[in-house]
Structures are given as C-alpha cells and as structure tokens.
Structure 1
Amino acid sequence: MTVTTSPAKRATPTQPVTGSSFLSSTRLVAEREVLTMLRLKSFWIGLAVILAGLFALAILPGLNDDEPPSVAAVGPEAARVLTGTELEVRQVADVAAAEELVRSEEVDAAVVPDTTGQSATGVRVVALTDPPEDVVVALAITPPVDLLDPSESASDQHELVIPVFGLVFLLFGTGGMTIAQSTVTEKQTRIVEILVSTIPVRALLSGKIVAGALLTLVQVVVLAVAAPIALRLGGQSEVLAAVAPALGWFVPFLVLGFVLLAAMWAVAGSMVSRQEDLGSSIVPLMLLVLGPYFAVMIFNDNATVMTVLSYVPFSSPLAMPVRLFTGDAQVWEALAALTLLAASAVLVMLLASRLYSGALLQTRGKISFANAWASVDRPSS
C-alpha cells in the first residue's frame, strides 16, 4: 500500500524549532542564495554598470572643460588685467550689463573696476554662486570676488552627489526583485515543498533576506571604495571632502532599507504561483521605492519636506544621507532615523514572516493577504 503525504502535512511552518536548528537552516539557505546570485551574469553586469556610471559621472564633466572660461570686461583697467590670458573676453559698457550677463550665465564671470579702493589690482571679479577659481588663476592676481547669488553648498556638488545617491537607492531598492522571482520559481516548480519538508519556512525567508543583505552590503562597500577613486580621477577633491561623511552614513541606511523591503519582496513572491502574475503583486513595492526617490529628487532643496522624508522608514535611506551631505542634519538626527528604520525593519519582518508562511504552500493562483494571514492558524487536513 502506498502512503501519500500532502505538501501541507510535510510542511510544518508553525512547529517549534530550536535556535541552533533555525540558525543552521538560515545559514544554509543564505549560502545557497548567495552562490546562486554570484553565478548569475546579470549580478556582475549590474555591478559593472553601476561602477561605470559612477566613474563616468565623476570624470566626464572634467573633460568638457577644454573651452576657456568666458568673462565680461568693464573699463580699460579690466582690459589691461585680462591681456595675455587665455580667457574668452567680452567687452561691455558698464557694470550693470556685466552683472546681467553673469546672472543669465552667458559668461562665467565679470571683471569690473573696483570702486571701493580695497583692491590693490584695481579690479574686482563678479560671479554668480561660487568663486570662479579658473578665472582667478588665469588672471595671475588675487582680486576680490563678489557673488551675486552665493550658495550654501556648491551647486555642481549637488548636481553630482544627489543624483548618484538617488540612483544607488533606486537600484538597491528594486534589487529585492530577485527574492520575489526566486520565491515564485520555487513555488512554480514545486521545489518549495521539498525545501520546507526539511527546514522551517521562516528560516527559508530569513536566509533569503540575509543573503540579499550581505550582497547589498558588499556592493555598497565596493561603491564606497570606488567613489573616492572616481572623484580623485575626475579632479573632484572638494566633492570628496564634502561627501565622505554622508557616504559613511549611506551604507548602514541602505542595508537596513534593503532588509525592510526584502521581506516585502519575499511576501510579494509568495502571494502568486506563476511568474506571469508577479507584476501585479509588486506594484505597491515599486511605489514604495519610486515614491521616495522622486520625492527626494524633486524636494531636495525644501528643508521641511526633506526633514519629514528623513524620518519616514521607506525614504530615510535616501533622504537622511542627502541632508547629512548638505549639512542640514545633525548626527543625533541620523541616529534617531537609523533606530526608527531598524525598528521598522524588525516589525515588517515579523509581519512578513506570518504572511510568507501562510502563502508559500498555496499554489492556486493569486492569494489574498487575509487568506495568507489566516492560513497559518488553520489546522492542516
């Protein structure tokens, strides 16, 4: 006589397991997931693309500096000072006209007569937001510099650093897609029934999250090491000095943010039984990643909005490092946001563990959250 054991009986997600057994199972699953990811060409191609983009953003702007800076000159004294330089000089009638050209960014700076008598050179340099070092160096003198619209932080630094932070957040935020796809594949091929007959379901979930977090940490560390090299090669030493403290905070924020989302990606995968149905299941998660990304990119110069975003767990991995970079956040704020993010990750993992356990062995199409939640307490038949 043949005895058939149903998958529901072989899988006992609620049965008690010892701590050593759970940790051992989690480690085995994590090792399997890490090795599987490292064998994928897409993993290495993705990392290579990120590194190539980082170096391109740091180096390419410096290659466009072949054209000499343009300046507006007012009066004979300015013309004399500019004689023999390689600057592109544009003569204008008066200081007001020169300032208008600077404001419209038609010229990089203006050299105008010094009416205060404070300059030994007889001229002053007028710029828009930041001192034009290339113009001052070309003059071979050190005249006073007046800024029409001084910035608190260099605009070119914002244009380089904030988009890079946003891109890295976006890539790693959606990186949990592999966990969802892996879960669906295991359900579709019925491999999951074999897995949960030997290890607890929660250990399977924990192993996937640990593996994803480890790989994320490795990739972030690689980027953290590569970023200073890229900035030095691109002649962006001042950017490196400004971004280094924020970069150190970006690593723990990004890893915890990945753990927060990874549990939800796993649940999204467990709610469907076919790869074709995964698209509808991950829409809320994509909104949780794209929403914070666009919010920070649009409102990064709004102090109130950025303060709120830096404490919301789903957006704090991006918003708080950006605020630290711009100097708008204190260390205690970063610690508070990091603590809140860690607590949220633990809470989400506990909730996700129940949903994952309840949905993993159900293979009858898309499963509702209510059904997944209730099936954990439902006795096996």
Structure 2
Amino acid sequence: MNNDTLRHPWQLVAEREISTKLRDRTFLGSTAFMLIVVLAATIIPALISGMGGKDKIAVLDDSGARIVAVADAVKGGDSYEATRTTDVASAEKLVRDGDVKAALLPGEDGFEVLGKQRVDTELQDNLREAAVNLGMEANAGRVGMTPEQLRAGTQVQERLLDPGPLPEVVAGFVNIGLALIFYITALSFGMMIAQSVVQEKESRVVEILAAAIPIRALLWGKVIGNTVLALGQIVVIAVASLIGLMVTDQADILKVIAPVAGWFVVFFVLGFVALAGLWAVAGSLATRQEDLGSTTLPGQMILMIPFFFSAFAGAEAKTVASFIPIASSMSMPGRMLTEHVPLWQPLAAIAILLVTTVLIIRLGARLYERTLLQTGRKLGYREAISLKAS
C-alpha cells in the first residue's frame, strides 16, 4: 500500500464501491433499463412523426393547391394534401393549432412556407421543387425571357410562428427523458448506497472499517465511488441516444442537445452528490434491510415530487422548480431544450444548488458519524440530529 493511498483512505472505499457495483446484477439491470428508456425517447418521436397519413398543407388558392399536388407527386404520392383556407390569419391559426403540418402562402417573390416551430426539411425541399417546376412551365410559355426571368416567382422562403430549439414533440420527449434519467439514476444508486451501508452494519464489517478508516472517509468513498459509476452510466446512455438519433435521421438535433449536455452534467453531479449523502445517512439510520422503507422515504419524496413537476407541470411551475435545489437538476436542462433561457438563470440555479449541496453534505457527514455505529435499533432523523458526536 503506497503513501498516497494512506493519505487518501476514501480511495479504497471508492474503488471497493466501483468494483462491487460492476459485478452487481441490480446495477447492470438498471443500466440496461435506462438504455431502453433513452432509446425509446429518441426513436418513438420519429415513429410518431411518420404516422397519421398525409401531411396537410394549408393553401389560399389554386396555385398553392397545384404546388402541393406536384410536391406530393415528387414525394411519390400519398404524402401531402392541400387544405383550403380563406386568408393568411386562418392559415396561421391552422398551423398554430397543429391542424396542418405547414402553410404555403404567397411571398414577395413566389411563396413562403409557414411553420410553427420548424419546417421539415424534406417537405420544404419538395414544395420548393414543385414551385420551381410549375413556375418554369408558366414562364417558359413567354418568349425572350432571361434565365432569371424564367425562374421569377419560384422562391420558397421559411417563416416560423414560434421558433424553438427543438421540434415540439421531440422536445417534450427529451425533457421527460432528461428528468427520468436523473430520477431513475439517483433513486437506483441511492437505494444501493443505503443497502450497502445496512449490509456493512448487519455483518459488523463497518466496525472493522471504522477502526481503520475515518468514518467521514467511508462516507466520501461511497459518495465519490457511486458518483463515478453514475457518470459512467450517463456516458453509456448518451452513446445509446446518439445511436438512436443517427438511426432515425435526427442527427441535426445533436446541435441543440450538445450545448445543453454540459449543463446537464453539472446539474447532475451536484444534485447526485447531495442526494448520495442523504441516502448514506438513510442507511446508517437503519439496522436491517426492512428498515430502509421508512428511512429512505424522505429521499424518495425529494426525488418524486420534483420529477413530476419537471415532466408534467406547466411552464410557470417548471420555471420556479428550475431554481429549487434538486428539482433544478431535472427542470433546468429540460427548460434549456424547450425554450430560450437567459444565461443568468442556469448560473443562478447552479450557485443555489452548489450552496445547498455543501450544506446537505456537511449535515449528512455529521449524522453519518453519529449513527453509523448505532446498531441496536433503527433511528429516526430527529433523534439522529439530537445525538451528540462520539
């Protein structure tokens, strides 16, 4: 054993945690489950977007309807159909309500394609090709025209009513997916941490460890070891999501997700470290595996309530939750994918979360020291706080 290891006994605990978990079926099973969830979150939206029959395109007149018909022929038929409307305002309403895929409206030099958040690239290309073909046919009937005149009135431009970082359906799935990744990872690792502490107490191994290593080093070893494992799991999941996006031809979404991924890692680490300390305390309060149902309940509630807020609450509730510690780890990265968030907001949320994490870890370390060697009976949180340090 080298001097560096002697100076950092938490490394021994961290290495033991990592090697034990890598051989644990529960850990491997949770990783496999997370892979399935993230693949579903990337593949299902693509499947949904490809269902539902023909895409409806709102038009104002016969010229627009002809372009849609030609675009449908370009696509191979049975893909697009024109929906007549009376004016631009009506077309905008149809687009905003989701009743049509897009609208083809008269523009300054031809037509413009109107979308809500984005216009499918293939749809826009097909409409542009149809407009060019029909325009050239009409212009070719005239004599003595230049190539520029021949193509006049065939430009198709894009205009979005409510541009966002991601398509609405995809953003919803990704938002829930990020929150679910944090929730399941923190919950599964948290229960494993608590169970590990109880097992060591039941087998009296903790007394041997505490005689050789400071109790706080035991805590830090468990927290750091499981944090490394959790981040490794996230990397594996990220690779799986990348594969899912590439398979479903959604690689352009990576341009939006990539900048947010770094923020997610920061929020994840801070939130996970704080919760890991609490889970370790939950294990130290128990004396048997059966006690974990009550000692881990506060940790489960701290995770469950923010998850439902970040995944299903309205915009205002999500904004508030994105500044609340722990909840911000699930809410803020999702907001950054679904709306334009000013830079100061994630920075402020990180600062609040960092302060909270430090306070929780300090409190958790004190409770862990006071309760880890208490093996006679299960302790409550109030009793643990009132205990004097040994």
Provide the rounded CA distance (Å) in 2 between the counterparts of 1:221 and 1:297. 22
Q: Cα offset for 1:294?
A: 1.7
Q: Cα offset for 1:370?
A: 4.4
Provide the rounded CA distance (Å) in 2 between the counterparts of 1:126 and 1:324. 25
TM-score (norm. length: structure 1): 0.81
Provide the rounded CA distance (Å) in 2 between the counterparts of 1:370 and 1:126. 60
Provide the rounded CA distance (Å) in 1 between the counterparts of 2:218 and 2:379. 19
Q: 1:136 aligns with which of 118, 124, 128?
A: 124
| Aligned ranges 1:301-380 → 2 under 5 Å | 301-302=315-316, 305-325=317-337, 326-330=339-343, 332-377=344-389
- Number of the residue aligned with 2:137: none
Matched, 1:177 2:181: no
The SS at the match of 1:353 is helix
| Aligned ranges 1:1-381 → 2 under 5 Å | 23-64=7-48, 65=50, 67-84=53-70, 85=72, 86=77, 87-90=79-82, 92=84, 94-95=86-87, 102=95, 104-111=97-104, 114=106, 118-120=108-110, 124-139=112-127, 140=129, 141=131, 142-145=155-158, 147=160, 149-153=161-165, 154-174=167-187, 175-299=189-313, 301-302=315-316, 305-325=317-337, 326-330=339-343, 332-377=344-389
State the AA in 1 paired with 2:178.
F
Q: Cα offset for 1:131?
A: 2.9
Cα distance per residue 1:74-112 (max 9 Å; x no partner): 432223223342333255463477666545534323445
Give the conservation status (yes or no) of the 8 Å contact 1:180–1:267: yes
Give the conservation status (yes or no) of the 8 Å contact 2:41–2:174: no
TM-score (norm. length: structure 2): 0.79
Closer/same/farther in 2, CA of residues 169 and 200 from structure 1, 3 Å limit: same
Closer/same/farther in 2, CA of residues 74 and 144 from structure 1, 3 Å limit: same
The SS at the match of 2:211 is coil
Give the conservation status (yes or no) of the 8 Å contact 1:245–1:324: no
Q: Cα offset for 1:164?
A: 1.6
Q: Which moved more, 1:130-139 or 1:89-98?
A: 89-98
Listed as ranges, the gaps of 5+ residues in structure 1 are 1-18
Provide the rounded CA distance (Å) in 1 between the counterparts of 2:286 and 2:389. 20
Give the conservation status (yes or no) of the 8 Å contact 1:26–1:207: yes
Q: Which moved more, 1:132-141 or 1:204-213?
A: 132-141
Give the conservation status (yes or no) of the 8 Å contact 2:193–2:222: yes
Give the structure with the higher percent helix.
Answer: 2
Provide the rounded CA distance (Å) in 1 between the counterparts of 2:347 and 2:115. 38
Identity of aligned residues (%): 35
Provide the rounded CA distance (Å) in 1 between the counterparts of 2:98 and 2:385. 60
Listed as ranges, the gaps of 5+ residues in structure 2 are 132-154
Q: Cα offset for 1:46?
A: 1.7
- Number of the residue aligned with 1:14: none
- Number of the residue aligned with 2:152: none
Provide the rounded CA distance (Å) in 2 between the counterparts of 1:264 and 1:350. 10
The SS at the match of 1:349 is helix
Provide the rounded CA distance (Å) in 2 between the counterparts of 1:313 and 1:128. 33
Cα distance per residue 1:9-68 (max 9 Å; x no partner): xxxxxxxxxx97875421111111111111012212222222232223223433442644
The SS at the match of 1:83 is helix
Give the conservation status (yes or no) of the 8 Å contact 1:109–1:135: no
Give the conservation status (yes or no) of the 8 Å contact 1:179–1:266: yes
Provide the rounded CA distance (Å) in 2 between the counterparts of 1:327 and 1:22. 49
Give the conservation status (yes or no) of the 8 Å contact 2:59–2:104: yes
Closer/same/farther in 2, CA of residues 57 and 21 from structure 1, 3 Å limit: closer
The SS at the match of 1:367 is coil
Provide the rounded CA distance (Å) in 2 between the counterparts of 1:372 and 1:89. 68
Give the conservation status (yes or no) of the 8 Å contact 1:272–1:367: yes
The SS at the match of 2:379 is coil
Closer/same/farther in 2, CA of residues 127 and 367 from structure 1, 3 Å limit: same
Closer/same/farther in 2, CA of residues 97 and 345 from structure 1, 3 Å limit: closer
Provide the rounded CA distance (Å) in 2 between the counterparts of 1:342 and 1:100. 44
